[in-house]
Amino acid sequence: MIRVRNLCVRAGGFTLDGVSFALETGRYGILMGKTGSGKTTILETLCGLRKPDAGSVELMGRDVTQAKPAARGVGYVPQDGALFSTMSVREHLAFALAIRHWKLRDIEARVEELARLLGIAHLLGRMPAGLSGGERQRVALGRALSFKPGILLLDEPLSALDDETREDMCALIQSVRAATGVTTLHVTHNLKEAARLADQVFFLKDSRLHEATGDELKSSLANGAAPRWLAPAGPPLTGGVA
Amino acid sequence: MSAPAAASADPEAARGGIGKAPSDAPFIKVTSDVPFIVALSLLGGVYVFLIVAMLVADLAFTTRGNLTEALNSPEIRYSIRLSLLSCSMTTIFALWSAVPLGYLLSRFEFRGKHLIEAVVDIPIVLPPLVVGLSLLVLFQTPVGRWLNETLPGGVTYAIPSVILAQYMVATAFAVRTMRATFDQINPRQEQVALTLGCSRGQAFWRVALPESRRGLVTAATLAWARSLGEFGPILIFSGATRMKTEVLPTTVYLEMNAGNIGGAVAVSLIMIAVALAVLVLMRAYGFGVKGEPAR
């Protein structure tokens, strides 16, 4: 479970003030908002890469507000994948396990399991430089899932992909979710992507968080109307905290 | 029909109408790029030409006899060995300082950072003779005198002074290179490593340092080459004693002082050959990594 209470983060001229939300265990949350609205800041704060000025972050029942990133047990996929250019795909999948001193045999078994799940078994010996955009994101996803985190944070993982690859990746994310049951918070700009994947949708606007269920978003889109919280002066549906 | 409607119906009219003066057309006459390329080539070519001309002049000036004589001279053989040894040791020491300093300056914000950046640049802007003189003065202080007396063979006017004099200047260039290298590496990769379970140290050793491999090679190359050419600080701090603190630039200086221009040019050519061989080897090793070259 992800629970954020009254989160305040100041970064340069940008301020995120008093944001609260909760995502239950096993649920798939989509975080939306304009560029610069603070979505990535929220993800970085959940990862521990950014220290909040106030508020608390609770992950899987533990208060981790002051914990280092390594101690949070969170899988993180940044926007560009941020693959390690000197490591092969196999080394990417084994990286977090080697850090945790897993036995070599167990690491190999886990790498094979992940490669099968993500459809990258044929890429294990390849270096990132030779991978396509979709392949890179699969590897980044595998690296984040490798140590079986309870929470997965995805920062616009599909934004740079073409439509066909995006469809494939959406299907892959759904199958990964079914296989692992990992609680996921996914940042995207794409409403179709959100409607397809979300149990819960959070929309960040003017430092206010508007919340809706995935079904509400789907029915809005099915009626051909954008959700009312996307309108310029739309009030929060539920749970928004300024 | 209103004017906008007419404009939307007739794109030609929207652009100003058929039959307007050619200067109003959306296309312009594109001038040739050749003069620009030629200007670039000429301006840059002057420098390349001067380098090649110098080397050709050196080759034309010296004789096979000069080269053979230089290579058979025990003093010059000693200075080649000392140059190779001192430059290699200096390069290792320079990297040991430059990598941590470059990483600290690139990744962390702390009080006094700008001051440290300025201090690190001092050896670059100081005249080389001043670096040598300052080292000599430093080793006249109580701590310096103690080091001189404690270390076997001492420091001043001995081989360690050659390495220290080279290190003082070469490291400044290596720090600049490593700082720029780490600045160019996306810190996101290290951040991902932190979320995967790494401490900052592990993220540095496992991710940042391998990613900086190309910069490391450049810094090492620069430090080595800079050390090979170092003369001023060595002359002041180490002296120019044959078979003791004589490195290749010192040899050139001593041969010229003795009026042996042919010998000095022969040693210069040996320096150029040694430098080229080492630089080519370093480059070949540095870029022969698997996957894309690290930054």
ipTM of the complex: 0.90
What is the per-residue pLDDT across B49-68, written as a single tens digit (0 to 9) for each?
A: 999 999 999 999 988 898 99
What is the per-residue pLDDT across B160-181, written as a single tens digit (0 to 9) for each?
A: 999 999 999 999 999 999 999 9
pLDDT for the residue numbered A230: 62
- Ordered DSSP codes for B137-151: HHTTSHHHHHHHHHS
- Across the interface, of A72, A85, A144, the residue whose CB is closest to B294 is A85
What is the per-residue pLDDT across B28-49, written as a single tens digit (0 to 9) for each?
A: 888 899 999 999 999 999 999 9
Q: What phi and psi, each to the nearest 5 degrees, are found at residue B8?
A: -70, -25
DSSP, res B206: I
Two tokens, residue A92:
């990417």
Contacts of A95 in chain B (CB under 8 A): 193, 196, 206
CB contact under 8 A, A127 and B292: yes
Residues of chain B with pLDDT > 90, as a percent, come to 73
Domains for chain A: give ranges and CATH numbers: 2-83+135-230 (3.40.50.300)
Among chain B, residues having any CB pair with chain A shorter than 8 Å are: 186, 188-189, 191-199, 202, 206-207, 210-211, 213, 289-292, 294
Inform me whether the C-beta atom of residue A96 falls under 8 Å from chain B C-beta atoms: yes
- Across the interface, of B186, B195, B294, the residue whose CB is closest to A76 is B195
- Burial status of residue A241 (CB atoms within 10 A of its CB: 0-12, 13-18, 19 or more): middle
Confidence of residue B283 (pLDDT cuts 50, 70, 90): confident
Two tokens, residue B190:
């290290």
Judge contact between A201 and A30, C-beta under 8 A.
yes
Contacts of B196 in chain A (CB under 8 A): 70, 95-96, 99, 143-144, 146-147
pLDDT for the residue numbered B4: 44
CB contact under 8 A, A95 and B191: no
Q: What phi and psi, each to the nearest 5 degrees, are found at residue A204?
A: -95, 120
Inform me whether the C-beta atom of residue A86 falls under 8 Å from chain B C-beta atoms: yes
Q: Scanning every residue of chain A, which has its alpha carbon at the shortest distance from the alpha carbon of B212?
A: A86
- Across the interface, of B188, B202, B289, the residue whose CB is closest to A82 is B188
Contacts of A89 in chain B (CB under 8 A): none
Contacts of A129 in chain B (CB under 8 A): 291-292
Write out residues in chain A with pLDDT < 50, as ranges.
232-242
CB contact under 8 A, B291 and A85: yes
The side-by-side arrangement of strands in the sheet containing A183-187 is A74-77, A151-155, A183-187, A28-33, A200-205, A208-213
- Burial status of residue A239 (CB atoms within 10 A of its CB: 0-12, 13-18, 19 or more): middle
CATH class of segment(s) B64-287: mainly alpha
- Burial status of residue A187 (CB atoms within 10 A of its CB: 0-12, 13-18, 19 or more): buried
pLDDT for the residue numbered B88: 95
What is the per-residue pLDDT across B252-263, written as a single tens digit (0 to 9) for each?
A: 999 999 998 988
Judge contact between A205 and A17, C-beta under 8 A.
no
- Across the interface, of A70, A129, A143, the residue whose CB is closest to B291 is A129
CB contact under 8 A, B210 and A84: yes
Angle at B31 between CA B25 and CA B32, to 5 degrees: 150
The side-by-side arrangement of strands in the sheet containing A62-63 is A14-23, A2-11, A54-59, A62-63
Two tokens, residue B8:
């939307």
Substitution target from A84, A97, A127, A141 for chain B, most B beta carbons within 10 A: A84
pLDDT for the residue numbered A21: 92
* Over residues B89-99, mean pLDDT: 97
Q: pLDDT: is B125 or B28 the higher one?
A: B125
pTM equals 0.83
Q: Report A:26-65 residues touching B (Cβ under 8 A).
A: 47-49
Confidence of residue B7 (pLDDT cuts 50, 70, 90): very low
- Measured in angstroms, the CA of B130 and the nearest CA of chain A are apart by 42
pLDDT for the residue numbered B23: 60
What is the per-residue pLDDT across A28-87, written as a single tens digit (0 to 9) for each?
A: 999 998 888 888 899 999 999 999 999 999 999 999 999 999 999 999 999 889 999 999
* Over residues B232-239, mean pLDDT: 94
CA distance A122 to B284: 30
Predicted confidence (pLDDT) at residue B92 exceeds the cutoff of 90: yes
pLDDT for the residue numbered A111: 97
